[in-house]
Structure 1
Amino acid sequence: MVAIRLRRGGAKKKPFYRIVALDSRKKRDGAVLEVLGYYDPKTDPATIKIDMDKYNSWIEKGAKVSETVKNLIKKVG
């Protein structure tokens, strides 16, 4: 099963997240199938960039979306 969720990067106390599609059995920072965008909570306001074409194609294929990514999609519009 494919999941769309956040993958953490960045340094200690300076998080940076990539929005990724990956096998739901993998670790949070494991190998990804495709990078869909990124989320930087440290900027003011927070920076959210998502490739909606890629996102929608994974949704059509049956990928499950995490609650956090759903909330970020709502913020983007």
Structure 2
Amino acid sequence: MAVKIRLRRIGYKKHPYYRVIVADSRSPRDGSCIDEIGTYDPNKQPSEINIDAEAAKKWLGNGAQPTETVSKLFKVAGIEK
């Protein structure tokens, strides 16, 4: 099973709000997830990023692959492998 760390879109039309989740790569974007490790709100100035660093490092250590966007969010939050 390939595990990805990616974004799940919530919120309403033209006002996105995202949850940073750990999910099977085959599941749909808004489908089931294994774990929720944070949130991302691009509507605020500056963007608000809340990520549980310990949970993110645990999943990265277990072999989960972040998407490009989540990798950028990790860099801003100061989380590295």
After TM superposition, the score normalised by the length of structure 2 is: 0.92
Aligned to 2:67: 66
Off by >2 Å, runs of 4+ in structure 1? none
Instruction: Tell me the C-alpha RMSD between the 2 structures.
Output: 0.6
What is the number of equivalent residue pairs in this alignment?
77
Shift of residue 60, structure 1, vs aligned partner: 1.1
Aligned to 1:53: 54
Describe the SS at the equivalent of 1:3. strand
Distance in 2 (alpha carbons) for counterparts of 1:62 and 1:38: 21
Within-5 A mapping of 1:1-77: 1-77=2-78
After TM superposition, the score normalised by the length of structure 1 is: 0.97
Distance in 2 (alpha carbons) for counterparts of 1:73 and 1:57: 13
- Unmatched segments (≥5 aa) in structure 1: none
State, as a whole percentage, how many aligned pairs show the same letter: 45
Distance in 1 (alpha carbons) for counterparts of 2:63 and 2:46: 32
